[in-house]
Amino acid sequence: MANQEAAGFDGVSDRSALQEFSVSNSESFWAAVARQRLSWIRPFHTVQDCDLSRGEIKWFVGGQLNVSVNCLDRHVHTCPERVALIWERDESGSEVKVTYRSLLEMTCRLGNLLRRHGVKRGDCVTIYMPTCPLAVASMLACARIGAAHNVVFAGFSAEALAERIRDAQSGTVITVNQGVRGGKVTELKKTVDTAVQSCPAVQQVFVAMRTENPVAMTARDVAMEEEMLKEDVVCEPAAMDSEDVLFLLYTSGSTGKPKGLVHTQAGYLLYAALTHRYVFSYHDGDVFGCVADIGWITGHSYSVYGPLANGGTTVLFESTPIYPDPGRYWEMVQRLKINQFYGAPTAIRLLLKYGDEWVHKYDRSTLKTLGSVGEPINTEAWEWYHRVVGDGRCPVVDTWWQTETGGICISPRPSDADAEIVPGMAMRPFFSIKPTLMDTEGKVLTSNDVSGALCIAQPWPGMARTIHNNHQRFIETYCRPHPGYFFTGDGAYRSKEGYYQITGRLDDVINVSGHRIGTAEIEDNQCAAVAESAVIGYSHDLKGQGVYAFVVLKNDVEVQGAALCQQLNNMVSKKIAKYACPDFIQVFVQRLPKTRSGKIMRRVLRKVVERDLDGVGDLSTLDDPTAVQEIIQGHGDLC
Ligand code: ATP
Ligand code: MG
C-alpha cells in the first residue's frame, strides 16, 4: 500500500510507519480502509467492540452491506466484460472464462432460485461441489440473500459430509451429478444421497451437471441449471449487518475433531481483500492463480472473496498437481499467463521429486509472486520453488494463517521492494497484527531470538467470531489459554532481527530432556535423498520424550538405510543439537498420513508408534488410510 495509502493517515509517510500506525491505531486504520474499500448500504457507527478474553468480537457495528454486491455489482458497473473467473477444468486446455457480468447473472438466478425454494436469511446452505464457477456463484448467491454457506470439500466421504451437514443444521445442499479430478470420476450426488439419509433436516438438494451422465433424481432433488434458466437475472441483495454470518467452515482436522468456524460479513471480506492485494502485490489486470480447493479457507479467501472484492481475475483449479503429468501447474501458468501462484508445500515437495525438467518445459515469465500456505515449507522446497519455478526472480511469500484467522497474518510483503525475505520464514505481521510469543508459564517473551506459543495481542477484522453452536469451545480453545490474547495453537521463533518462523503445532512439540523442539525444526533437513519427513515425540524412560522420524525418499533414490540415518543425524545435530537427533528413523515409508488438505497428521503417527490406533480420534479428514497401514507394516524397518 506504501506511500499512496500512507498518505491518508496523519503523520504517516512510508510503509514501516504505516505498519506501526496500523498496530498502535488499529481502529483508525481499519475504519479508513473499510470506508475506502467496501461499498456500504449503511455506514458503521462503531469501528470495533471486542473483548478477546470473553471471545466477543464485533467490527464495523451498525454498518450494513452486501458481500455479493461488493464482489460483483460494483465491478459490473465499471468493467462488466472483465474476466472474473478462469475455470481451469480437470481436462487441461479446456478452461472456461466467466466475466463479472455473467458471474453476477449466474449468482442472481441462483439467489432467486434459492429464495423460491424457501431459503431464508440466516439459513445455512451446504455446498458439496468441486471448484467451479457454479460453486462460486452458489457461495455468492447465499451471500446475496443473506444465507450462510458451509462448503464441504468434495473429496469427503458421505459420513464426514453428513456430520458437517448436521452440525451446521443445514436444510439445503448444493452439489453436482459427478465430480472429475485427476481424470477420475467421483459420484458426488450419490455421496450426497447417502449422507442425507442421516440428515433429517435436509429438505432439498440442488444438483448441477458437471458431466453429461444423468443421475437418479428423487422428489427432494432440483435440477439446478434447468431451474436457474427460469429465474430473473436481477436479484435484490439483502442488507446484511456487518456481524451477520457469512459462512461457516470446518478446519482441516489435523489435530482433532474439526471445528466449524464462523466468519461474518464486513470484517472478513475487508481482511481477505486487503491481504490479497498487499501480500501478493496484486495489481489490476493480473491473473491470480490460487490452486487451493474452495473447500478450504485458502480457497474461500484467495480464490473467491479476496480477488473478487478487488475486482481481480482469479483461477479456479479443479485438478491435481500431477494430472495429466507433473508439469500441470507450469503448463497452466504458461497458458493462462498467471502472475501470482499460490500453492501448498505438500505439492511443492511432491513436484520437486519429479525433477526440474517438468518446470523448465514451460514459460513462466508472467510469474511475479509465488506463495506457500498450509504447513511450514522446508528450506529445500522453498529454494526449489524460488530458484526453479520462479527462476530466482520471484519473491516467495510463505504465508502463515489459519481457518480461524480468516486471512494471512504473518508473511513477507513483496511490494516492499527492499524488504528482506529469509527462506522458510513467514517473516512479518500484516497490518495491525500484533504477534506475541509466550513462554510455557504464560509470560510474554519480550526479547528476540526466542521461541514460544504464538498468540495475537489484539483483534483484527478477519478473525473468526465463534465455533458454530459451541461458543464455549471457542473461548476454551482460543481465548482461555492466554487471557486477553488470541491463542493460535502454533509455535513460533522470533529471530534476532525480529522475523517470525513457524516451528510447528504446539500439540506436536517434542520435549527431550527439557528441551522443547518444534517439529518443523527437525523436519527441515536438507538431505538430498529425502523428499519429505515427519517427526513425533514418543515416551522415553530417561529423556521424557525421544524423537521418532518417518522419512519418505525421493523417487529412484538408492540409499542404504544406515548411511542415510547417519547423514540425517549429522545434519540435525549440526543444525539444532545432538539431543534433537532421532532415536528411531523409519526410512522405507511410501507416504505420510495427511489430511485431505495435504497436511501431515502427526497425531496418527504418534498413535502408530504407541500402537494405539483405537485412541487416534477423529479420522474423517484422513486422506488415504493405506498410508497408515503401510507404516504399521513397515514398523520394523528402523535404524
Ligand atoms: P485443525 O485445527 O482441525 O487441527 P488445521 O489447523 O490443519 O486443522 P487449518 O486452519 O486448515 O486447519 O490450518 C491452519 C494451520 O496450518 C495453522 O495453524 C498452522 O499449523 C498450519 N500452517 C498454515 N500455514 C502455515 C505456514 N505458512 N507455515 C507453517 N504452518 C502453517
Ligand atoms: Mg488448526
pLDDT tens-digit readout, 464-513: 999 999 999 999 999 999 999 999 999 999 999 999 999 999 999 999 99
- Residue 146: is its pLDDT beyond 90? yes
Please name which of 592, 619, 598, 67 lies closest in space to residue 292, comparing C-alpha atoms.
Answer: 598
pLDDT in tens, 9-55: 766 778 888 999 999 999 999 999 999 999 999 999 999 999 999 99
Question: Which residue, chain included where needed, has cell 457507527?
Answer: 45
Angle at 446 between CA 442 and CA 449, to 5 degrees: 105
What is the CA(401)–ligand 1 centre distance, in A?
7
* Each residue's pLDDT tens digit, 106-119: 999 999 999 999 99
Q: What does the angle CA 461 – CA 86 – CA 261 come to, to the nearest 5 degrees?
A: 30
pLDDT of residue 250: 96
For residues 597-618, average pLDDT? 89
- Report yes or no: 266 and 241 within 8 Å, Cβ to Cβ: no
Q: Compute the distance from residue 254 Cα to the ligand 1 centre, in Å.
A: 8
Using CA positions, which residue lies closest to atom 14 of ligand 1?
Answer: 402
Ligand 1 centroid from CA 253, angstroms = 9
**157 falls in which pLDDT band (50, 70, 90)?**
very high
168 lines ligand 1 (CB under 6 A): no
Cα–Cα distance, 370 to 396 (Å, whole number): 5
Atom of ligand 1 nearest to the CA of 520: 29
Question: What amino acid is encoded at 619 in this protein?
Answer: L
- pLDDT per residue as tens digits for the range 278-305: 999 999 999 999 999 999 999 999 999 9
* Closest by Cα among 342, 426, 428 to 389: 342
Round to whole Å and give the CA distance between 141 and 231: 13
Q: What percent of the chain has pLDDT over 90?
A: 84
Residue 222: pLDDT band with limits 50, 70, 90: very high
Tell whether ligand 1 has an atom less than 6 A from the beta carbon of residue 307.
no
Q: Is 101 exposed, middle or buried (CB count within 10 Å of its CB: 0-12, 13-18, 19+)?
A: middle
329-345 pLDDT, tens digit per residue, is 999 999 999 999 999 99
Does residue 459 line the site of ligand 1, with CB under 6 A? no
Q: How many whole angstroms from 564 Cα to the centroid of ligand 2?
A: 33
pTM for this prediction: 0.96
Continuous H helices in 95-240: 100-116, 133-145, 158-168, 188-196, 224-228
Regarding the beta carbon of 255 and ligand 1, being less than 6 Å apart is answered yes
C-alpha cell at 443: 509470560
For ligand 1, mutation pick of 163, 375, 487, 606 (most atoms within 8 Å of CB): 375
Say yes or no: ipTM exceeds 0.95. Answer: yes
Structure confidence at residue 200 (pLDDT) = 97
Question: Cα(125)–Cα(170) distance, rounded to whole angstroms?
Answer: 6
Q: Return mean pLDDT, the chain.
A: 94
How many residues make up the chain in this entry? 639
**Nearest alpha carbon, ligand 1 atom 16:** 374
Say yes or no: CB of residue 503 within 6 Å of ligand 1.
no
Q: What's the CA gap between 237 and 108, in Å, rounded?
A: 9
Whether 559 shows a pLDDT value over 80: the answer reads: no
- Asked if residues 20 and 31 have their Cβ atoms less than 8 Å apart, the reply is no
Closest protein CA for atom 28 of ligand 1: 376
Closest atom of ligand 1 to CA, residue 255: 4
**Rounded Cα gap, residues 140 and 142, in angstroms:** 5
User: How far, in Å, CA of 325 to CA of 598, rounded?
Assistant: 19
